[in-house]
């Protein structure tokens, strides 16, 4: 039987890589639903190419345009938050959660509550509501498969082992485009420089997060929820070649690592075919061409975002929501030229100091605290402008 696929965030970097794999294996997959925020053209093209039954545009003002483009194609158009939830919880049995930011939380949660197999790329959803998501998956029987290359690597290394045999996880970080830059150089960094990741081709927000190392901080919190380990048993090392995607250390002193080229189609394929594997067109590694693998400790002075994320993880889930929401607003302000690169982490640190965050008991409370964080962080940025 074909696996029925829904892709939330189909027009983004992860969404397009997922479509690439699915379209190469029409005998194995059937696309039932696709979503985007505002990219009507990309969404309608993908829906018509794949024969999707439902296409959802989050921006309701673009609904008429989408409906007109899809006329006569057999694909139904929908819009807004309800449409996203319908795509997530409808006919699909496998859902790719690849919306960027906390905006992906409600539809991702809908897929989990509907008991789907959920490939989780949307790390901000897990950072803000990890405990609620894991509880919901346990209740509904949903299967969560990590897509982030580091967590996917750990997931692969853990296959067939007992949780009590794991002593430590090691997340690798490329170090981003400013690995060798001074603080002075970083304070002058432009959005174009920050988005130009040396190894991975990704959306703008995650590329800036990689440059500040906030991405690794979010991944630390993500790993805590996915693999149920405390902060002190999850380490981060900088590995500029991005060949080793992460490692697991076991109680006997063995370490297992997963290696591969820097191509998201490899971890996505692992989740698409799971528990089997499928072929991908990804470049194969030549160890002799790579020659050497380097590892170093992260510099928390130049990259305070990683320290802030670890502190937020240790403070609790409310602090993680503030960390994430403040970071989303600060990254957007940086991309729009309203604040400097080093102001991103400063803004997040101020927000964490000023917003009182208690543990959320529901998705509604997560959304409320996220909204409050966004308003307060926007005000902090506006106040600090000359």
Ligand X SMILES: NC(=O)c1ccc[n+]([C@@H]2O[C@H](COP(=O)([O-])OP(=O)(O)OC[C@H]3O[C@@H](n4cnc5c(N)ncnc54)[C@H](OP(=O)(O)O)[C@@H]3O)[C@@H](O)[C@H]2O)c1
User: What residue numbers does the annotated binding site for Mn(2+) cover?
Assistant: 148, 150, 219
Q: Give me the DSSP letters along 265-277.
A: HHHHHHHHHTTS-
Applying CB under 6 A, among 4, 6, 15, 244 the residue interacting with ligand X is 15
Query: Is residue 260 a contact residue for ligand X (CB under 6 A)?
Result: no
Nearest to 198 by CA among 211, 213, 215: 211
Per CB under 6 A, which region of 118-126, 191-199, 254-262, 362-370 contacts ligand X? 118-126
Which lies closer to ligand X via its Cβ, residue 266 or residue 342?
Answer: 266
Query: Is residue 36 a contact residue for ligand X (CB under 6 A)?
Result: yes
Nearest to 70 by CA among 56, 58, 89: 56
Which lies closer to ligand X via its Cβ, residue 13 or residue 242?
Answer: 13
Which lies closer to ligand X via its Cβ, residue 13 or residue 345?
Answer: 13
Query: Is residue 126 a contact residue for ligand X (CB under 6 A)?
Result: no
Contact (Cβ atoms closer than 8 angstroms) between residue 242 and residue 199: yes
Instruction: Name the minimum Å distance from CB 27 to ligand X.
Output: 26
Instruction: Name the minimum Å distance from CB 184 to ligand X.
Output: 29
In which region does residue 262 sit, left (phi positive, over 0), alpha (psi from -120 to 50) or beta (all else)?
beta
Applying CB under 6 A, among 3, 20, 24, 38 the residue interacting with ligand X is 38
Q: Which distant-in-sequence residues (6+ apart) come within 8 Å of 196 by Cβ?
A: 177, 207
Which lies closer to ligand X via its Cβ, residue 204 or residue 229?
Answer: 204
Q: Binding site residues for 1-deoxy-D-xylulose 5-phosphate, as ranges?
A: 123, 149-150, 174, 197, 210, 215-216, 219
Query: Is residue 220 a contact residue for ligand X (CB under 6 A)?
Result: no
Kindly determine how many residues on this chain lie close enough to bind ligand X according to the rule CB under 6 A: 27
Applying CB under 6 A, among 14, 127, 171, 208 the residue interacting with ligand X is 14
Sheet holding 143-146, edge to edge: 76-79, 54-57, 29-36, 3-8, 94-97, 117-120, 143-146
Applying CB under 6 A, among 106, 248, 262, 264 the residue interacting with ligand X is 264
Query: Is residue 173 a contact residue for ligand X (CB under 6 A)?
Result: no
Applying CB under 6 A, among 19, 33, 66, 121 the residue interacting with ligand X is 121
Per CB under 6 A, which region of 12-20, 71-79, 297-305, 347-355 contacts ligand X? 12-20
Which lies closer to ligand X via its Cβ, residue 125 or residue 157?
Answer: 125
Taking the mean position of all CA atoms in its chain, how far away is CA 254?
Answer: 29
Q: Going along 192-274, which residue ranges are E strands?
A: 234-238, 244-250, 255-259
Q: Give the helix/strand (H/E) hosting 96.
A: strand 94-97
Numbers of helices and strands, H then E, in the chain: 17, 11
Contact (Cβ atoms closer than 8 angstroms) between residue 354 and residue 200: no
Q: Going along 140-185, which residue ranges are E strands?
A: 143-146, 166-173
Contact (Cβ atoms closer than 8 angstroms) between residue 244 and residue 152: no
Per CB under 6 A, residues contacting ligand X are: 9-15, 36-39, 58, 98-100, 103, 121-124, 148, 200, 202-203, 205-206, 264
């Amino acid at each position: 039987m074909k696996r029925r696929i829904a892709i939330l965030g189909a027009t983004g970097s992860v969404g397009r890589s997922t479509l690439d794999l699915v379209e190469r294996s029409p005998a194995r997959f059937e696309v039932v639903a696709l979503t985007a925020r505002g990219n009507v053209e990309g969404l309608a093209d993908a829906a018509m190419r794949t024969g999707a039954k439902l296409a959802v545009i989050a921006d309701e003002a673009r609904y008429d345009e989408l409906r007109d483009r899809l006329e006569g194609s057999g694909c139904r158009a929908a819009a807004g938050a309800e449409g996203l939830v319908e795509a997530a919880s409808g006919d699909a049995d496998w859902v790719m959660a690849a919306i960027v930011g906390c905006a992906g939380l409600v539809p991702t949660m809908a897929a989990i509550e509907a008991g789907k197999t959920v490939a989780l790329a949307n790390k901000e959803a897990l950072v803000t509501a990890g405990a609620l998501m894991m509880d919901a998956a346990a209740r509904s029987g949903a299967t969560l498969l990590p897509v982030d290359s580091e967590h996917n690597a750990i997931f692969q290394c853990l296959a067939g082992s007992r949780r009590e045999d794991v002593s430590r996880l090691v997340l690798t970080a490329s170090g981003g485009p400013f690995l060798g830059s001074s603080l002075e150089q970083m304070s002058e960094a432009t959005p174009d420089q920050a988005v130009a990741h040396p190894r991975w081709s990704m959306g703008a927000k995650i590329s800036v997060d990689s440059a500040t190392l906030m991405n690794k901080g979010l991944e630390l919190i993500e790993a805590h929820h996915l693999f149920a380990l405390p902060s002190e048993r999850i380490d981060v090392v900088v590995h500029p070649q991005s060949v080793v995607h992460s490692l697991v250390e076991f109680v006997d002193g063995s370490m297992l690592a997963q290696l591969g080229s820097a191509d998201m189609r490899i971890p996505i394929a692992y989740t698409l075919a799971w528990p089997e594997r499928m072929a991908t067109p990804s470049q194969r590694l030549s160890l002799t061409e790579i020659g050497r693998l380097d590892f170093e400790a992260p510099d928390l002075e130049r990259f305070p975002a990683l320290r802030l994320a670890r502190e937020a993880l240790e403070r609790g889930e409310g602090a993680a929501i503030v960390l994430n929401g403040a970071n989303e607003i600060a990254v957007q302000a940086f991309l729009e030229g309203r604040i400097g690169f080093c102001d991103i982490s400063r803004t997040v640190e101020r927000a964490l100091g000023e917003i009182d965050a208690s543990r959320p008991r529901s998705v509604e409370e997560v959304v409320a605290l996220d909204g409050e964080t966004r308003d307060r962080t926007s005000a902090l940025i506006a106040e600090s402008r000359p």
